[in-house]
Structure 1
Amino acid sequence: MKTVLVFKTSVVTEQQAGRLKPVLDKLMHAREKWNFDLEDCDRILRVEAFTLRASVVIAELNRAGFFCAELED
């Protein structure tokens, strides 16, 4: 079953999101996807994945120099 993970990030620009594309694409499998909502005040990253854990996404964005925290429902 696909899980939707939602994160608050410090990504502000499309250029920053573009720099993260290879990082996020590397984490994805077939039929999984991600996108940023940079218009939202929390600079949302939304990930639809089958097995990816939130901690992995957070670690990868932190490693790339960005703040990332999972938003709870």
Structure 2
Amino acid sequence: MIIEVFKTNVQEESQCQVIIEKLLEHFPNSSINFDLEDCDKILRIHAPAISNTKIIAILNSHGYFCEALP
């Protein structure tokens, strides 16, 4: 399993649910969660294979900022 961590500007739990559903369409065998308590509004994805470019594009298409953290 690969773990990737992203900085986002997602603010609400309801927004998280919509994004998680969309991400699961592209990465069906993954575990996805947000940490809205963190100042960087962290998105964590645990998956067998991850495309950072696709994840960022999905969030951008919904109007959110997203960047991979090192």
- TM > 0.5: yes
TM-score by structure 2 length? 0.91
SS of the aligned residue for 2:32 comes to strand
Partner of 1:48: 46
Q: Which has the larger radius of gyration?
A: 1
Compute the displacement of 1:15 (Å): 1.3
Structure 1 residue 62 corresponds to structure 2 residue 63 = no
| Superposed structure 1 runs of 4+ greater than 2 Å apart | none
Task: Identify the range of structure 1 (36-45 vs 47-56) with the bigger mean alpha-carbon deviation.
Answer: 47-56
Q: Is the CA contact 1:5–1:70 (under 8 Å) kept in the aligned structure 2?
A: yes
TM-score by structure 1 length? 0.88
Count of residues paired in the alignment: 70
Give percent identity, aligned residues only: 40
Give the alignment's Cα RMSD to 1 decimal. 1.0
